[in-house]
């Protein structure tokens, strides 16, 4: 120990100044000297404690008339031994700890000696803070973490003496594996323009429901449309790219390679590791097993199976769809919510045009974002372009407005036959052209021509049959099936795909993987009732409104009614036509509700009869046949006067 000696001015005492030392109990220890001289302001002696006695020793230092004291606590020398039962725990387990404390004479520490307990990482668990000895033994309890495994170091301390023991906390047994995500779950074939990879994640938990420790091995098995073809042959694969597919013995018959099954190593593979595009092994990180799936040349559905190595725990990811990525001509479909609209009477009547597309494999869900274009020769589309959604569908609204359909352009043989028949039967004008009420909408998309995949490799190969479509789409306004020269029919717009300023209509006799595909849909553009004419069934010519007929007693007379718009086309869907008579008995069709159609030259004709019963003394009575038409909320009434004998 050292004593600093200063004078009354706090200056260091001169070297050589003598300081005397004494102790209060010589049985507790001894001093190396009873006096020491000051050197650079300090006087020092050494105190040595007794080997087998404890207590408090008071040391007194005196210099001249100044005295000071120092208390020294004498403790025994202890040996601490720590044990754990057990020394290995699972997550959430408990261990009993014992600290044996003996002194230098191998005697037990006095009862009540305090032992402090501590651990090196609080994430691994908790321990009793302090305990006291009984017959030299102190006990404590360690509770392992329920989530974190590893090795924990426990320290028992008595005074300045301590010792340690390690406890291994093992992960809980794996209890479950479940599919978590596939991003994205819809991919395209390799090189098809869509994402060709999907990141698939499985969650692996222990029996307590907590994420398993990092490093748990998981076998991934893939079953897909290529039938396990190597990537070099257009097959899909999981994990790293491989160049071989090794044979194995499917011991459990599940159709997948599992770790531990016998396989044949082959040249080009990794020695001692099973190689196949259908198989990969991954390790968990944070309770997640993650694998990347790469598509090949063939579309279809892929399923991934995940198995915990060494455990009978497996799961499957939901189907991951692989599509061709581009529309194909055979799938191109256009539909309309309304086929007949009253455009000659009303503007802004809407028909929703819906386009449905799929790729060559019939998958519609791989075409998201593909642009579809619309062109029309009458009315207007609210948008000229639509974008396919995740179901391969897009829609735009077409509305009635100027211009109306082009007039006088063309009449088909069927339409001409109807015009002639209606003229003969009812006297309607021969100048009517039903095709004048036909609006044409052209729909286009960039895609590929159809082909028949003879070898099933997912690709077009020379010599395989295909459908050779026209190189440039056009609006067939007159409905004759060919593009007219723009002089004969000014309305027949075409899309100049190659930009040469001329229409090209000859197929190129080659399969095209990218070209403008098209469809045309026609809508009827109709008006209010124009031609409402009645005739007797056995004769031609429309009846006048007055004196139209005379029906004798006990007679049946058959009538035919024509209802059409200005172009001899059917009225809009929902129009009702009702026939009634004031005297006589009406039979046959007396009411018709018009359906929706875009067929031209398809007027409504109704057949009904009026009869009279036998009467020995009949009386000729005036009667009226009334036709009531309700069209787009407006009522139109027509009547024909005649007589009946009743």
If DSSP codes are grouped into helix, strand and coil, which group holds residue 458? coil
Half-sphere exposure of 1 (CA within 13 A, CB side): 23
pLDDT of residue 577 exceeding 90:
yes
DSSP string, 191-225: TSSS--EEEEEEEEEETTSSBPPTT-EEEEEEE-T
CA quadruple 603, 604, 605, 610: dihedral, nearest 10: -150
Q: Are residues 98 and 215 in the same domain?
A: no
Residue bearing the bigger pLDDT, 119 or 453: 119
Rounded Cα–Cα distance for residues 334 and 349 (Å): 19
C-alpha separations of 595 from 340, 522, 573, 577 in Å: 9, 16, 5, 12
Closest alpha carbon to 37 in 12, 67, 69, 14: 14
Q: Half-sphere exposure (CA, 13 Å, Cβ side) for 473?
A: 20
φ, ψ (nearest 5 deg) of residue 620: -75, 125
* Sheet strands (E) in 428-491: 438-447
Whether 218 and 272 share a structural domain: yes
Domain final position from 525, 560, 590: 525
pLDDT at 190: 84
**Which range has the worst mean pLDDT, 175-179, 201-205, 238-242, 408-412?**
408-412
pLDDT of residue 416 exceeding 90: yes
What was the pLDDT predicted at 599? Answer: 97
Residues forming beta bridges with residue 35, ordered by sequence position: 20
Q: How many domains does the chain have?
A: 5
What is the structure's pLDDT at 486?
A: 61
How much is the pLDDT for 488? 63
Strand partners of residue 301? 321
Strand order in the sheet with 66-74: 35-37, 18-23, 55-63, 66-74
Domain CATH for 581? 2.60.40.10
Tokens of 337: 């919510």
Instruction: Say whether both 106 and 238 belong to one domain.
Output: no
| Average pLDDT score over residue span 480-507 | 81
- Assign 46 to helix, strand or coil: coil
| 333-336: Cβ within 8 A, 24+ apart | 333/357, 333/519, 334/441, 334/443, 334/519, 334/520, 334/521, 335/521, 336/398, 336/521, 336/523, 336/598
Q: Pick the residue with more confidence: 28 or 573?
A: 573
- At residue 410, the pLDDT reads 82
Q: Which band of pLDDT confidence, cut at 50, 70 and 90, is reported for residue 171?
A: confident
pLDDT at 605: 98
Decide if pLDDT at 81 tops 90: yes
pLDDT at 547: 93
Q: Which of 62-76, 89-103, 481-495 has the lowest mean pLDDT?
A: 481-495
- In whole angstroms, give the CA distance from residue 519 to residue 474: 9
Instruction: State the average pLDDT for the chain.
Output: 91
Q: Please give the full DSSP string across 506-521, using - where no structure is assigned.
A: S--SS--SSEEEEEEE
What pLDDT shows up at residue 560? 98
Residues 298 and 347 in one domain: no
Please report the pLDDT score of residue 233 as a whole number: 87
Domain boundary among 119, 136, 170: 170
Question: DSSP 3-state assignment of 133?
Answer: coil
Instruction: Give the pLDDT confidence score for residue 85 in this predicted structure.
Output: 87
Co-location of 597 and 464 in the same domain: no
- Judged against a pLDDT cut of 90, whether residue 106 lies above it is answered with no
Within a 10 A sphere around the Cβ of 276, how many other Cβ atoms?
23
Q: Which two tokens stand for residue 580?
A: 């009634």
Same domain, 341 and 487: yes
Residues 199-243: pLDDT tens digits?
999 999 988 888 988 999 999 999 988 888 899 888 999 999 999
Same domain as 569, residue 502: no
Ramachandran category for residue 497: left, alpha or beta (phi over 0 → left; psi -120 to 50 → alpha): alpha
pLDDT exceeds cutoff 70 at 55? yes
Torsional sign, CA 233, 235, 241, 246: negative
Question: Do 519 and 392 have their domain in common?
Answer: yes
Same domain, 490 and 471: yes
Question: Closest Cα to residue 302, out of 286, 287, 319?
Answer: 319
- Residues 557-568 pLDDT 10s: 999 999 999 999
Instruction: Indicate if 492 and 586 belong to the same structural domain.
Output: no
Percent of the chain surpassing pLDDT 90: 61
Q: What is the mean pLDDT of residues 297-309?
A: 87
The whole-number average pLDDT for the span 15-39 is 88
β-strand pairing of 340-341 with 515-525? parallel
Q: What is the pLDDT of residue 12?
A: 84
What pLDDT score does 51 carry?
Answer: 62
Residue 458's pLDDT is 72
- Count of beta carbons in the 10 Å neighbourhood of residue 91: 22
Given a contact cutoff of 8 angstroms between Cβ atoms, the answer to whether 372 and 351 are in contact is: no
Is residue 358 a contact partner of residue 365, using CB atoms and an 8 Å limit? no
Tell me, yes or no, whether 113 and 162 share the same domain: yes
Regarding whether 278 and 152 lie in a shared domain, the answer is no
Domain span at 568: 531-645
Last residue of a domain, one of 27, 47, 74: 74
């Amino acid at each position: 120990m050292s004593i600093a000696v200063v004078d009354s001015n706090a200056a260091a005492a001169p070297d050589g100044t003598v300081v005397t030392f004494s102790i209060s109990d010589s049985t507790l220890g001894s001093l190396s000297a009873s006096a020491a001289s000051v050197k650079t302001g300090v006087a020092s002696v050494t105190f040595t404690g007794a080997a087998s006695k404890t207590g408090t020793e008071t040391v007194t230092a005196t210099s001249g008339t100044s005295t000071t004291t120092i208390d020294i606590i004498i403790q025994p020398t202890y040996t601490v031994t720590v044990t754990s039962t057990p020394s290995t725990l699972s997550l959430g387990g408990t261990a009993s700890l014992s600290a044996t404390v003996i002194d230098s004479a191998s005697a037990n520490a006095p009862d009540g000696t305090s032992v402090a307990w501590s651990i090196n990482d609080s994430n691994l668990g908790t321990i009793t803070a302090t305990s006291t000895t009984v017959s030299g033994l102190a006990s404590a309890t360690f509770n392992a973490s329920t989530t974190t495994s590893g090795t924990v170091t426990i320290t028992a301390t008595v005074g300045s003496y301590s010792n340690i023991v390690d406890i291994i906390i093992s992960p809980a047994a794996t209890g479950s594996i479940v599919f978590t995500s596939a991003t994205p779950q819809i991919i395209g074939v390799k090189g098809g323009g869509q994402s060709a990879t999907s990141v698939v994640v499985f969650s692996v938990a222990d029996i307590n429901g907590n994420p398993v420790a990092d490093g748990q091995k998981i076998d991934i098995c893939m079953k897909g449309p290529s039938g396990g073809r190597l990537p070099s042959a257009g097959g899909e694969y999981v994990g790293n790219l491989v160049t071989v597919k090794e044979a194995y013995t499917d011991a459990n018959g599940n159709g997948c390679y599992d770790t531990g099954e016998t396989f044949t190593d082959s040249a080009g593979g990794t020695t001692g590791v099973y190689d196949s595009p259908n198989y990969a092994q991954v390790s968990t990180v944070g309770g997640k097993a993650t694998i990347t799936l790469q598509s090949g040349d063939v579309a279809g559905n892929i399923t991934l199976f995940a198995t915990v190595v060494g455990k009978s725990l497996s799961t499957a990811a939901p189907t991951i769809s692989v599509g061709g990525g581009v529309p194909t001509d055979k799938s191109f479909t256009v539909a309309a919510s309304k086929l007949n609209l009253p455009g000659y009477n009303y503007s802004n009547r809407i028909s929703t045009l819906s386009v449905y597309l799929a790729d060559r494999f019939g998958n519609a869900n791989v075409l998201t974002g593909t642009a579809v274009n619309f062109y029309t020769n009458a009315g207007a589309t609210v948008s000229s372009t639509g974008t396919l959604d995740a179901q391969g569908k897009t829609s735009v609204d077409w509305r009635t407005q100027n211009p109306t359909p082009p007039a006088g352009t063309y009449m088909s043989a069927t339409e001409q036959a109807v015009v002639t028949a209606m003229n003969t039967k009812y006297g309607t004008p021969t100048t009517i052209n039903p095709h004048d009420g036909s609006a044409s909408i052209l729909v286009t998309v960039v895609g590929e021509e159809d082909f028949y995949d003879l070898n099933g490799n997912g690709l077009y190969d020379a010599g395989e049959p295909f459908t050779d479509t026209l190189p440039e789409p056009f609006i067939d306004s007159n409905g004759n099936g060919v593009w007219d020269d723009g002089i004969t029919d000014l309305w027949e717009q075409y899309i100049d795909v190659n930009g040469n300023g001329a229409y090209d209509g000859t197929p190129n006799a080659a399969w095209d993987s990218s070209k403008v595909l098209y469809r045309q849909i026609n809508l009827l553009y109709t008006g209010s009732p124009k031609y409402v004419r009645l005739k007797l069934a056995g004769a031609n010519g429309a009846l006048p409104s007055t004196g139209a007929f005379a029906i004798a007693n006990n007679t049946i007379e058959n009538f035919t009614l024509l209802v059409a718009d200005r172009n001899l086309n059917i009225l809009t869907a929902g129009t009702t036509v009702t026939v009634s008579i004031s005297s006589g008995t009406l039979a046959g069709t007396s009411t018709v509700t018009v359906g929706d159609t875009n067929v031209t030259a398809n007027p409504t004709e109704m057949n009904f009869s009026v009869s009279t019963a036998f009467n020995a003394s009949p009386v000729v009575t005036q009667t009226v046949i009334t036709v009531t038409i309700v069209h787009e909320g407006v009522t139109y009434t027509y009547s024909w006067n005649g007589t009946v004998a009743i």
